[in-house]
Structure 1
């Protein structure tokens, strides 16, 4: 009998060797890229998924991380006047803080040439003010809870979803994508309430494996904060897990279609954790949700620093990134391009 891990590794080989693409259109309208750990490549993945998805579907992407890495990449050299915080604050704190701005998103192709030629893609910028947002948010939630008003709790927790849906309707966007911070409170909490499905990047290291378990437990455990607030809101639904993306997996060689032993060990542990929480997944066979991606540190650095989707990087070309460091795009980028296309296709 073929194991779940063998299924994951077989699909990895198929993607690398043949450029396998899953058939079908996006299964959900809204996704959040999320993991309760930093440094796993969330913003790089969100940027590249925005490009891949927008080739076939109109897209609205929002930056819910106060570090604003996605905003710096996707709205290159822009100084946006309107941010997600300016849209959320009136909804969360009331009319005394003004009205939600009418137009809160920017057409990405106006800032990045590569986004032309596909469907329309709009971005709602992030805001460093989101660092302070959780205290205000939970204060308002506690007030609503103390008054015995589950409808008010529901309205507060659904504020981001309402904002995203209104903007998507205005800009005629089919799909919503949210980048989140590595901290659950505030914007990430609201993104989990707004998203129908999650994309969870998991680096092949010990801390990321622990974080995967923490994230899935938080999503499902009725005694943890997320589910407790869902209950207090009258029964909000939880997002499904659409994909677990194992990032920075090392292959035996550039030509190999098999990850190295260390990467395989972490993949196996991640699959075992997923199996424990299989009720959260879109498919009962959790192996279908796994996407293994290679160690694309250099390509990811170039992609983020130069605002170039990985699919548009050219083998052999040099790029200058932070502090004058020069990096060359090597042949391995063709593997990453196949893996990203496959990831976008299973959503």
Structure 2
């Protein structure tokens, strides 16, 4: 194994040991979970990370993906009268799209009993109409550019930041967590402008490595759409990369605790991509920003289907999912440690 890969797996194994995780001290106020690919466990990670953050700090959580998977996980069948779209549309497009709502978030512990016992945290529901939001957003930006109005460009790009910052202060939250869509345009673009730091989940497969490279290049390349618009706005600080979360590692390994060769190869390739963009990372060595998460298997299915954070699952307990009876095994203890380690490096 290369030096970088060795360091990543050593960090992982150390984090599983008693006392192997450093105390949590968040380096940033606002985080977004983003990668330009779907199907990598992003919303499951966001759901569990929302739980982990709320154990330490009052947290405002926002679902910016029009698929609304995080909304379903947190709110289940709860009725919602306001969503992120209700706040963004008048902010970006003008008062013709309605007035800004006075209150756009819901207390999470009132929606999901498993969040009780943590810090008072709040959730802003997703909006399926955000599928059509990019075209309206870029039309507004182009009009502002055509008028030579740099201030308007900046106000539009920072509209989500302003919405979330207002709500964060109203609800006395200390952290903000955003779950983004797998598409850059629209709300994800605004989330990057609103975030101090980005958390990038990467599944151990070919397409995920490509999407990691695309994501980091979009942040780093001065000729990327993100940086071109940031310059047109007179300068918008790009988010730092706080973590690269490798998901489904070891999924094909027949030996407990041993990562299969394919997983090792993809983790190493992800590190090589990250090393090319080392200046983006909080950590001096990008290897220290990598977090390994195993194949959650039944625990992940139960967590996602029943909206139970993985740390709240009880070893030995049975759950029925889509007609299948699944049991939480002792690997849940390992998964919990991995989530704790991720939280500790943010």
1:180 and 1:130 map into 2 onto residues whose CA distance is 11
Which residue of structure 1 aligns with residue 247 of structure 2? 247
Which residue of structure 1 aligns with residue 325 of structure 2? 326
1:42 and 1:8 map into 2 onto residues whose CA distance is 21
List alignment gaps of at least 5 residues for structure 2: none
Which residue of structure 1 aligns with residue 200 of structure 2? 200
TM score, norm. by length of structure 2 = 0.97
Which residue of structure 1 aligns with residue 95 of structure 2? 95
Shift, 1:254, TM fit: 6.1
Shift, 1:22, TM fit: 2.2
Q: Is the 8 A contact 1:32 1:179 kept in 2?
A: yes
Which residue of structure 1 aligns with residue 215 of structure 2? 215
Give secondary structure in 2 for the equivalent of 1:218: helix
Shift, 1:17, TM fit: 3.7
TM score, norm. by length of structure 1 = 0.96
Give secondary structure in 1 for the equivalent of 2:81: coil
Provide the aligned length of Structure 1 versus Structure 2: 345
Which residue of structure 2 aligns with residue 144 of structure 1? 144
2:48 and 2:33 map into 1 onto residues whose CA distance is 12
Give secondary structure in 1 for the equivalent of 2:176: strand
Shift, 1:262, TM fit: 1.2
Q: Is the 8 A contact 1:315 1:331 kept in 2?
A: yes
Q: Is the 8 A contact 2:24 2:343 kept in 1?
A: no
2:9 and 2:329 map into 1 onto residues whose CA distance is 24
Which residue of structure 2 aligns with residue 335 of structure 1? 334
CA RMSD of aligned residues (A): 1.4
CA displacement 1:136-155 (0-9 Å, x = unmatched): 00000000011111110000
Which residue of structure 1 aligns with residue 7 of structure 2? 7
2:76 and 2:19 map into 1 onto residues whose CA distance is 30
Give secondary structure in 2 for the equivalent of 1:18: coil
2:71 and 2:127 map into 1 onto residues whose CA distance is 9
Q: Is the 8 A contact 1:31 1:198 kept in 2?
A: yes
Matched, 1:70 2:70: yes
List alignment gaps of at least 5 residues for structure 1: none
Which residue of structure 1 aligns with residue 107 of structure 2? 107
Q: Is the 8 A contact 1:83 1:127 kept in 2?
A: yes
Matched, 1:119 2:119: yes
Alignment of 1:168-207 (within 5 A): 168-207=168-207
Q: Which runs of structure 1 show a deviation greater than 6 angstroms over 4 or more consecutive aligned residues?
A: none
